[in-house]
A and B are shown apart, each in its own frame.
Chain A
Amino acid sequence: SAVISQKPSRDICQRGTSLTIQCQVDSQVTMMFWYRQQPGQSLTLIATANQGSEATYESGFVIDKFPISRPNLTFSTLTVSNMSPEDSSIYLCSVQQGLNTEAFFGQGTRLTVV
C-alpha cells in the first residue's frame, strides 16, 4: 500500500485568493489523481496528474482554475485559483500503480472559502 501525505489538512481562505494543496507519496506511483467532494456529495474527478506534462482535465474543470503540477513520481500539487465560496469542498489526492490495482487516497484538504 501507499502512504499519502496531503497538506494542508484544512484551510479557510478569502475569496479571490489561491490555495496550493500538496500531495506527497512514500513511494513512486504511476498514476495520481485529484478529486473534489462538495458538501454532502460523492467524489468527482478533477484531473489526472501526468508526470512531466500537462494534466488531463475532466469535463467542467479547466487548467486556469485548477492548475496541477507533477514534477516527479511521488509528488503533485493542485492549486485552486481565484476562489469563490462555491469552491468550498474537500479536495483529495489519489494514487494507483495501474488501472487494475488498488486506489489509495490522502486524508483530504478541507477548504472553506469566505
Chain B
Amino acid sequence: KQEVTQIPAALSVPEGENLVLNCSFTDSAIYNLQWFRQDPGKGLTSLLLIQSSQREQTSGRLNASLDKSSGRSTLYIAASQPGDSATYLCAVRPYNFNKFYFGSGTKLNVKP
C-alpha cells in the first residue's frame, strides 16, 4: 500500500526566505504527483502536477521536482510572502489505482 509522508509537519519562516517542502512516497509506480495548498477550513487549490515522466514543473515562484526512483518530491517556494501561509499537501496517484494517496501536509507560516 502506498504511504505518503510530508516533512516537516510545520514550518515558520520570515518573509522573503526561500523554502523547501518535502514529500516522500513508498511505491514508485505512480502516474503522477500533485501539490495542493489548503487554507484553513477551505478546499484544496491545485498548485502543480508532475507526471511520472517529468523531473520538475514550475509556476511563478513555485518549483516542484520529482525523483520517482527514490520516491521523493520537493516543493520549492521562492521569496516567500505572508499570503503563502497555508497547509501544503502532496498527493500521489499509483498505477492501477483510481485514487490519490495524500500526505498529512506541511503547515507553513510566513511571518511579516
Which residues of chain A are near B105, meaning CB under 8 Å?
Answer: 42
Chain B's interface: helix, strand, loop or mixed, by majority? strand
Q: How many residues of A contact B (CB 8 A)?
A: 25
Q: Does B11 contact A (CB under 8 A)?
A: no
Contact B49 A107 (CB under 8 A): no
Q: Does A102 contact B (CB under 8 A)?
A: yes
Of all chain A residues, the one with the shortest Cβ separation from B103 is A42
Contact B44 A105 (CB under 8 A): yes
Which residues of chain B are near A45, meaning CB under 8 Å?
Answer: 99-100
Shortest beta-carbon distance from A57 to chain B in Å: 12
Partner of B32, one of A90, A100, A107, A108: A100
Nearest 4 A/B pairs, CB to CB: A105-B44, A107-B43, A108-B43, A42-B102
Given contacts A90-B41, A99-B31, 6 further A-B contacts (CB under 8 A): A41-B104, A42-B105, A56-B98, A100-B93, A103-B34, A107-B42
Please list the residues of chain B having a beta carbon within 8 angstroms of any beta carbon in chain A: 31-32, 34, 36, 41-46, 49, 51, 89, 91, 93, 98-100, 102-105
